Amino acid sequence: MGINDRKARQQEEIKQQIIAESWHIIAEEGWQALSIRRIADAIEYSVPVIYKHFENKEAIQEYFIKDGFAKLTEEMRQIQTASDDERIREIAYSYWRFAASRTAHYRIMFSLGIPHCETVNSVAEMKQMSDMMRVAIEKLAQSHRQEHTDIYLKLKTFWSMLHGFISIELLSNTVIPAEPTPVFKDAIESFMYTLINKK
């Protein structure tokens, strides 16, 4: 039945339009400017059509959260470095650059206003990212004969540091510098130092 295939394609196209136009609005005017009616206007369909593709507005937010983590993971995946030391540094830097270049996206991903997700590990896209970090930390620990480090402890610390710096940056409403600041770099070096050297 080619007819059903075509229908599925057409529906999928509408969904992609919803996503594209939504992002258009968000990028231009922020998440708070996004309303179902504005999406409907933009895609030139009536309001209830949107509810055929997203259960509610929160589901749209959820989509962008997952999408954000997927994009972040993708950027991290493209890192090519010689040493394990370099790798974890570059992961940190690409995290910073992501927050700097896609600030609107980052804000949505970590908006603590509305509780949305269950556990970090239950969201596949989040887990992918944290896995990538974990492996990098693991490798660095191993290559410096630190097999007995608590990796999950270090992973949590690592992510907390990254997000902490970005958050504080986001508090003052100025644009995040495109490249990691010295403060940030310094903290990453400290983290790596305590990871490599036994206590």
Partner DNA sequence: TTACTTTTGATAACACTGTTAACAAAATGT
Partner DNA sequence: ACATTTTGTTAACAGTGTTATCAAAAGTAA
Interacting residues with its own copies (CB under 8 A): 30-32, 107, 110-115, 117-120, 153, 156-157, 159-165, 167-168, 170-173, 182-183, 186-187, 190-191, 193-194
> Does residue number 15 form part of the binding site for DNA (CB under 7 A)?
no
Q: Which stretch binds DNA (CB under 7 A): 45-53, 64-72, 125-133, 166-174?
A: 45-53
CB distance 39 to 21 below 8 Å: yes
Q: How near is the Cβ of 124 to its own copies at its closest, in Å?
A: 15
Q: Which stretch binds DNA (CB under 7 A): 1-9, 132-140, 166-174, 181-189?
A: 1-9
Give, as one character, the DSSP assignment of residue 175: P
Residue among 48, 18, 45 nearest 34 (CA): 18
> Does residue number 1 form part of the binding site for DNA (CB under 7 A)?
yes
In the block, which residue shows the tokens 């310094």? 186
Q: Which residues of 103-139 are buried (b: 16+ CB within 10 A; e: fewer)?
A: ebbbbbbeeeeeeeeeeeeebebbbbbbebbbebbbe
Which residues inside 46-75 make contact with DNA, applying CB under 7 A?
Answer: 46-49, 51-52, 56-58
> Does residue number 9 form part of the binding site for DNA (CB under 7 A)?
no
Give, as one character, the DSSP assignment of residue 112: -
Could you give the CA distance from residue 182 to residue 176 in angstroms, rounded to a whole number? Answer: 13
| Binds 77: which of its own copies, DNA, none (CB < 5-8 Å by kind) | none
| Binds 27: which of its own copies, DNA, none (CB < 5-8 Å by kind) | none
CB distance 163 to 99 below 8 Å: no
